[in-house]
Structure 1
C-alpha cells in the first residue's frame, strides 16, 4: 500500500500523462483531474521524496464503479492483502466494509449485482489481491459474480447474513479482536452518518456496526459484548438512532452520541472527534450521492485522513470550520462534477495549509 503523499514515480508519471492529456489521467476507465499538481523534484535530486505544495485533486469517473476502481488505483499497490467487493446498488453492506478493509490494509470495490463492471475487473486484475471478500447474500451479489471473481484471486470468501445488521456484525467479528478502543454505531437505514465513520474508525482501531432506529439487533448486541470496546460512539440524532437504543448500548459499555442538525454537521463532528489538526490529507465526497464515499473510506484510512461531506455547490458551514481546523496539505474530491461541482472544488483550495 502506498502513501500518496510521497508521490512515487507511478503517480508522478500519471501527472505527466495528465498534462499531456490536457488535465485528464485515464486509469481503468476513470479520470483523475488534478486541480493543482505537485511539483516534480529538481535535477540531481531524484532520490529525494517529493514534498508537494498544497493541492486539491479530483478522482472521478463515468459512474460509481469507475470511481471505485479509480480510487483504488490511486491509492493501493498490487498484492493487497484483501479486496472487499460490495454491491454498488445496496449500500448497507459496504458501510461496515471500509473500517474492516482499513484494518487489514485492503480496498473496497463496488460491483453490479449480476456482473463485474469492466473498470472494477481491470483494477482487480492489477491489484492481484491475496483474498477477495464478497459482502452480502446472493440477492445483492449473485453467485455468478462470486465465481467470476475467482479469476482475480486464489481465495474468495463471502460474508453474508439474514440482513444488513447480521452482515455488519459478521464483518466486525471476522476482523476485530476484543477490547477495541472504539466501536461506531450508525443507522442501517439512513446512511450519511456512517459515511464519515469509516475513516475515524480506521484511525482509532474499531469497527462500524449498524442498528435500527429503535432496536439493537441481537447479533450486533452480541458482537458489541464480544468486542468490549472502551467506548461506543453513536452517530446521528434521534431521528436515526433513538434514545432507547442509546440506553441499551450503555448497558454494554461507555456510550456517547455525536450528532448535529444535519449530515454535514455530523461529518464535521466525527472528524473533529478523531483527527488532529494538520492532517496530511482530507477526502471530500457528496453528502447526497453516497456511492463515492463508500469506496473512499478505505483510501482515507490508508492516507490517515478523514472523510467530510459537502453539497454539490457548497461547503457547509460546519465542514468549512472543520477544514479550517484541519488545514490539510491535500484534499481529494471523490466523484464527478454532478456530485461535487468545479466551483466547490475550487472553494476547497481556501482550506489548504498555507
Structure 2
C-alpha cells in the first residue's frame, strides 16, 4: 500500500491541470505567483474546496476521512490514513454535519467514512446516520491524542512502512507540515510528549516494526532524551515552526520526489491548523510542500528567507497555492510571498 508520489500523483496532477514533477532546468521566477487560492466561507467549506480540487469528478471517490473541524489535534495524523485510501479530509462539528460536508460526501459518492476521534468529537449519532444510509464507517480513536494517533498509524496491515514521523502532540505545526508527505508516501505520524514517550506511541512503534524514525521539531518540542528513547534516526527541525516546515519541504524534495517548482502557503497559527490539515491530500497528491506564514499573520522571516533562497526553482510550470481565506492568509501576505520569489 506504500505508494510513491511520482506514480500515484500523476493522474491527479493531470486532473488538476498542474504540471507533474519534471527534470527541467531552473529558470527565473518571472511570472510565478501565489495566485491559486483554495478557500471557502469557513474551515468546513475550505476543506470541501480542497476535496473538489483533489476529486473533481462526481461519484468517483469511495473513501473520505472525517474529523472534528474544531479539534484538529485528533486529526493531526489523519493525513496518513487519507493517503492510504487516496481520500480527502473533511470536517464535521459536534452539533451536526455541516451542509457543505454532507453535500461533498454525497457528490463524491463515498461508500466508506473513516472517523478519526472519539464520540465526544464526532458523535455516535453522526456515525449511525451514515450507516443508516448504507455507508460503511470505521472509527479510529483512543483515550487521548497519543492513543488516537497510534490507532491511525496501526490501522494498515500491509507491513512495516518505510518511515515513521514522530512529532510533538502539543506543538502541532510540525505534524501538519509533514502532512503532504505522510499522505503521498504513506508514512505514519505518531505523537509524543516533549519529556517522555507515551505508552501508546511506544507500543505503536513496536507494532509498526520500522527503525527509520524521523523526529520533527527541535529539543523544545521533543527533548534529546525523548529523541533517544524513541530510537530516532534523524531530526528535522528549525528555530521555529516556519523554519521546521521549510526544512521538511527541502527534505520532501530531496528524498520523497516532491516538486521543487511548486509551493503551498498556509496559515502558521494554531487557529489556522484546519486549513493546513485539509490541504495535505491535495498537496500530497501534487507533491507540493507546505510552508507557513508568520505567527502574526505576516509572511515571517523564516518563510521569506526560504522562498527567496529557492526563487530560481519556481517557474511558470509550477504552482503557488494558498490554502484558506483572507482570515487565514491575508492578501498582503500572499503578495509578500510572491515578491519574495521575484
TM-score norm. by structure 2 comes to 0.82
Cα displacement (A) at 1:150: 3.5
| Partners of 1:117 and 1:151 in 2: CA distance | 18
Cα displacement (A) at 1:225: 1.7
| Partners of 1:98 and 1:6 in 2: CA distance | 22
Given the alignment of the two structures, is residue 108 of structure 1 paired with residue 93 of structure 2, yes or no? no
From 239, 243, 246, the equivalent of 1:265 is 243
Given the alignment of the two structures, is residue 293 of structure 1 paired with residue 271 of structure 2, yes or no? no
Once superposed, what is the RMSD of the aligned Cα atoms?
2.5
Residue of structure 1 equivalent to 2:307: 320
| Partners of 1:280 and 1:321 in 2: CA distance | 13
- Say if 1:132 and 1:153, in contact at 8 Å, map to a contact too: no
Moved more, 136-145 or 279-288: 279-288
Given the alignment of the two structures, is residue 303 of structure 1 paired with residue 286 of structure 2, yes or no? yes
Count of aligned positions: 308
- Say if 2:32 and 2:314, in contact at 8 Å, map to a contact too: no
Cα displacement (A) at 1:257: 1.2
- Say if 2:267 and 2:293, in contact at 8 Å, map to a contact too: yes
Residue of structure 2 equivalent to 1:337: 326
- The DSSP-based 3-state class of the residue aligned with 1:275 is helix
Cα–Cα, structure 1 residues 217 and 65, in superposed 2: closer, same or farther, change >3 Å? Answer: same
Residue of structure 1 equivalent to 2:22: none
From 42, 45, 51, the equivalent of 1:72 is 51
Cα displacement (A) at 1:114: 2.6
TM-score norm. by structure 1 comes to 0.79
Given the alignment of the two structures, is residue 91 of structure 1 paired with residue 72 of structure 2, yes or no? yes
| Partners of 2:239 and 2:210 in 1: CA distance | 27
- Say if 1:280 and 1:304, in contact at 8 Å, map to a contact too: no
| Partners of 2:311 and 2:319 in 1: CA distance | 13
**1:1-354 alignment runs, 5 A limit:** 3=11, 5-6=13-14, 56-76=35-55, 77=57, 78-150=59-131, 154-175=135-156, 177-250=158-231, 255-276=233-254, 278-279=259-260, 281-288=262-269, 289-311=272-294, 312-315=297-300, 316-321=303-308, 323-324=310-311, 326-327=313-314, 329-350=318-339
Cα–Cα, structure 1 residues 320 and 281, in superposed 2: closer, same or farther, change >3 Å? Answer: closer
| Partners of 2:312 and 2:76 in 1: CA distance | 26
Unaligned runs of 5+ in 1: 12-37, 39-52
Cα–Cα, structure 1 residues 200 and 161, in superposed 2: closer, same or farther, change >3 Å? Answer: same
Residue of structure 1 equivalent to 2:21: none
Cα–Cα, structure 1 residues 114 and 99, in superposed 2: closer, same or farther, change >3 Å? Answer: same
Deviations 1:248-275 (A, max 9, x none): 112xxx5221111110000000111121
| Partners of 1:235 and 1:324 in 2: CA distance | 25
Deviations 1:33-84 (A, max 9, x none): xxxxx9xxxxxxxxxxxxxx85521011111111111111121143323211
| Partners of 2:134 and 2:319 in 1: CA distance | 33
Cα–Cα, structure 1 residues 117 and 324, in superposed 2: closer, same or farther, change >3 Å? Answer: same
- The DSSP-based 3-state class of the residue aligned with 2:326 is coil
| Partners of 1:338 and 1:151 in 2: CA distance | 37
Deviations 1:150-170 (A, max 9, x none): 366621111111111111111
- Say if 1:159 and 1:170, in contact at 8 Å, map to a contact too: yes
- The DSSP-based 3-state class of the residue aligned with 1:222 is helix
- The DSSP-based 3-state class of the residue aligned with 1:115 is coil
Whose relative contact order is higher, 1 or 2, with alpha carbons under 8 Å and at least 6 apart? 2
Cα–Cα, structure 1 residues 318 and 104, in superposed 2: closer, same or farther, change >3 Å? Answer: farther
Unaligned runs of 5+ in 2: 1-8, 19-30
